[in-house]
Amino acid sequence: MMEAADSVGFAGKQMAEDRIETDVVVIGGGATGIGTLRDLSLRGIACVLVEQGGIAHGTSSRFHGLLHSGGRYAVNDTLSAKECIEENTILRRIGAQCVEETEGFFVLLPEDDPDYVEKWLPCCKEAGIQTEELSVEEARRLEPEISPQAVRVFRVPDSCVDGFRLVLHNAMSARRHGGRVLLYHKVIGISQQNGCIQSVEVVNTLTGEKKTLFCRAVVNAAGSWSGQIAALAGLDVPVSPDKGSLIVFNHRFTSRVVNRLHPGSDGDIFVPHGSITILGTTSVATDRPDDTRPSRQEILRLLDIGEPLFPKLRSYRILRAFAGTRPLYTPGNAQGRSASRNFQVFDHARDGLQGFFSIFGGKLTTYRLMAERVSDAVAAYLHVSAPCTTQDQPMVTQADPQRLEQTRRCFPVGDLSLMADRVGDDLDKVLDLAKKRTQVSPAGNPLICECEMVSLAEIESIAQDQDSHSLTDIRLRTRLGMGTCQGTFCALRAVNTMFEHDITLSKDPLCELHGFLQERFRGLTPTLWGTQAQEMQLSHAIYAGVLNVRNAYANNN
């Protein structure tokens, strides 16, 4: 087994060679793939992960952010419910910076079947999910916006999880233990010899440069793309992408996760995140893993479905809409909500290819367990006896309160906990940059994004990472432009400030501004009515009218 090389950033300067040797190549940079990289690295197995886009490029950044208690699956899938509550508990412990412990409500409305409750309660008990019935009056005291027509309300240990941050912190942990990540590298070939995996060929999607990764095993954790990856190895796996669309409201009208108490369906989950609330999701069959454009019809349907639970729903301002695809395990051509939400680990030795493993299905809540199961299989194949330890080790270290207090004057906001939770292992670097900025410039360390409290030092730290190539990469790490203004003000401010301080990215600053605004506009197009349309007009007036940025909103393909 090879000794892992030191790295700079996720890819590191060591990754410039066109031939890389390692034990395992993990394909897919979402929660399951990065979780697998972390698991293998903690076992001392040399491994490299490749991802065609940036961090959390696919499904892990395009979901409602619910850390399931398992209550949603208790009746129809007790095993999944048990896995959810167990992993929910583990993730609260090892990923505290990624989780907001909100708890959750399951609410029965008059149009829901009252007999379903009598099935649901014993199934929750069997799965180990703690439930507590509240009076409707008490529930509405805690959450006043819930429908006064509610019939019964139960409290469960649901929570919220930041998918971007979860993946990033897993990557940081993997890096500390020798794991290596290649972002913006697409798999174009998988070679085998005498029925065993030999190598994976990738191409840098930014430069066109190719690399060959020689390895003993491959983990296909590409989510909705896993069928395409398997096909490169001459294999067929029954995975189908299923699109789910969601709505983001610019108001935290519930402080708890709120579910409809009925069999899982569209539009029956409300999840609070920071200052916003997300309503999801739909389930629409698609043949494209990258089908991430929500339609206006889906958004209107979600509003119709969600309104009985929150009667004032249409009075809340919609911030944007987005969509992602789920990798559903679909043997026998099952589709949509009839398809299993369980995860599957395939050892393709049974298909004649040794050293090739696929992991797909499941949900973000169980990503760590999924990674453990596939890593167990890989470790056994490589004759490595080290056990899984991911359930015991925090992903990033807790911020030192004394250090934060010492550097508080270097930041334009009083509470640094939000920033500290975001940056994880990079905290010392951000604090040092903030201190330096404050010492050398009268402007110090200015606030760039008021909505998410992002300062120049945080942006500078991420821009210096070798795997940061665009404002979108910075957005996913900081939440820049994801607040109320959706980039209307902070996008220009970020580009201008970076230019002034000689902080460079791969692309021309004006191209960066165009691309960033265009990406933000994609989420607005299905919701352009009322105040949302007015905000779009304001953004257009600022950029097209005042700043002469003519094409930022012209093409939303």
Show Cβ contacts of residue 553 under 8 Å, excluding neighbours closer than 6 positions.
517, 518, 521, 536, 539, 540, 543, 544
Show Cβ contacts of residue 189 under 8 Å, excluding neighbours closer than 6 positions.
200, 201, 232
Digit-coded pLDDT (tens) for 61-95: 788 899 999 999 999 999 999 999 999 999 999 99
Average pLDDT over residues 445-471: 91
Are 9 and 146 in contact by the 8 Å Cβ rule? The answer is no
Report pLDDT for 17: 72
Report pLDDT for 334: 53
Backbone phi and psi for residue 498, each to the nearest 5 degrees, phi listed first = -65, -40
Percent of the chain at pLDDT > 90 equals: 63
Q: What is the CATH number of the domain that holds 195?
A: 3.50.50.60
Is the pLDDT at 150 greater than 90? The verdict is: yes
Average pLDDT over residues 138-144: 98
Report pLDDT for 9: 39
Instruction: Based on the fold, state whether residues 275 and 154 are members of the same structural domain.
Output: yes
Instruction: Return the ∠ at Cα 318 (arms to 486 and 555), rounded to 5°.
Output: 55
Report pLDDT for 181: 95
Report pLDDT for 232: 97
Q: Is residue 48 part of a domain?
A: yes
Is the pLDDT at 343 greater than 80? The verdict is: yes
Q: What is the CATH number of the domain that holds 318?
A: 3.30.9.10
Report pLDDT for 443: 80
Q: Categorize the per-residue pLDDT at 48 as very low, low, confident or very high, splitting at 50, 70 and 90.
A: very high
Instruction: Based on the fold, state whether residues 149 and 172 are members of the same structural domain.
Output: no
Instruction: Based on the fold, state whether residues 19 and 131 are members of the same structural domain.
Output: no
Report pLDDT for 10: 38
Q: Which one of 289, 323, 357 terminates a domain? A: 323
Q: Is residue 92 part of a domain?
A: no
Average pLDDT over residues 211-226: 96
Q: 251: which 2 tokens? A: 């108001």
Is the pLDDT at 16 greater than 70? The verdict is: no
| Domain count along the chain | 3
Report the mean per-residue pLDDT for the chain. Answer: 89
Instruction: Based on the fold, state whether residues 224 and 254 are members of the same structural domain.
Output: no
Is the pLDDT at 241 greater than 70? The verdict is: yes
Of 78, 164, 132, 415, which is closest to residue 256 (Cα–Cα)? 132
Backbone phi and psi for residue 550, each to the nearest 5 degrees, phi listed first = -80, -25
Report pLDDT for 365: 95
Are 178 and 130 in contact by the 8 Å Cβ rule? The answer is no
Pairing of strands 210-214, 104-108: unpaired
Instruction: Identify which has the larger pLDDT, 101 or 15.
Output: 101
Q: Is residue 318 part of a domain?
A: yes
Instruction: Based on the fold, state whether residues 429 and 486 are members of the same structural domain.
Output: yes
Q: Is residue 487 part of a domain?
A: yes
Burial of 140 (0-12, 13-18, 19+ CB in 10 A): middle
Instruction: Based on the fold, state whether residues 347 and 415 are members of the same structural domain.
Output: no
Q: 249: which 2 tokens? A: 């409201």
Report pLDDT for 383: 98
Q: How many CA atoms lie within 13 A of 192 on its CB side?
A: 18
Q: Is residue 205 part of a domain?
A: yes
Q: Is residue 64 part of a domain?
A: no
Q: Is residue 386 part of a domain?
A: no
Is the pLDDT at 517 greater than 90? The verdict is: no
Low-confidence winner among 56-60, 447-451, 489-493 (lowest mean pLDDT): 56-60
Report pLDDT for 3: 38
Instruction: Based on the fold, state whether residues 360 and 489 are members of the same structural domain.
Output: no
Burial of 334 (0-12, 13-18, 19+ CB in 10 A): middle
Instruction: Identify which has the larger pLDDT, 553 or 445.
Output: 445
Instruction: Return the ∠ at Cα 520 (arms to 519 and 523), rounded to 5°.
Output: 100
Instruction: Based on the fold, state whether residues 223 and 357 are members of the same structural domain.
Output: yes
Average pLDDT over residues 257-283: 93
Show Cβ contacts of residue 318 under 8 Å, excluding neighbours closer than 6 positions.
247, 248, 249, 250, 299, 527, 532
Report pLDDT for 522: 83
Average pLDDT over residues 394-400: 92
Instruction: Based on the fold, state whether residues 366 and 486 are members of the same structural domain.
Output: no
Can you give the pTM of this predicted structure? Answer: 0.91
Q: 466: which 2 tokens? A: 């070798």
Q: Categorize the per-residue pLDDT at 11 as very low, low, confident or very high, splitting at 50, 70 and 90.
A: very low
43: containing domain? 13-58+164-238+342-381
Handedness of CA 392, 396, 400, 401 (dihedral sign): negative
Low-confidence winner among 124-138, 197-211, 534-548 (lowest mean pLDDT): 534-548
N- to C-terminal Cα separation, the chain: 46
Is the pLDDT at 169 greater than 80? The verdict is: yes
Report pLDDT for 548: 77
d(CA 229, CA 237): 10
Low-confidence winner among 178-187, 361-370, 387-396, 474-483 (lowest mean pLDDT): 474-483
Report pLDDT for 44: 97
d(CA 395, CA 326): 25
Of 274, 276, 219, 267, which is closest to residue 246 (Cα–Cα)? 267
Instruction: Based on the fold, state whether residues 420 and 468 are members of the same structural domain.
Output: yes
Q: Is residue 90 part of a domain?
A: no
Q: Categorize the per-residue pLDDT at 557 as very low, low, confident or very high, splitting at 50, 70 and 90.
A: very low
Report pLDDT for 2: 38
Instruction: Based on the fold, state whether residues 273 and 144 are members of the same structural domain.
Output: yes
Instruction: Based on the fold, state whether residues 446 and 527 are members of the same structural domain.
Output: yes
Average pLDDT over residues 435-461: 90
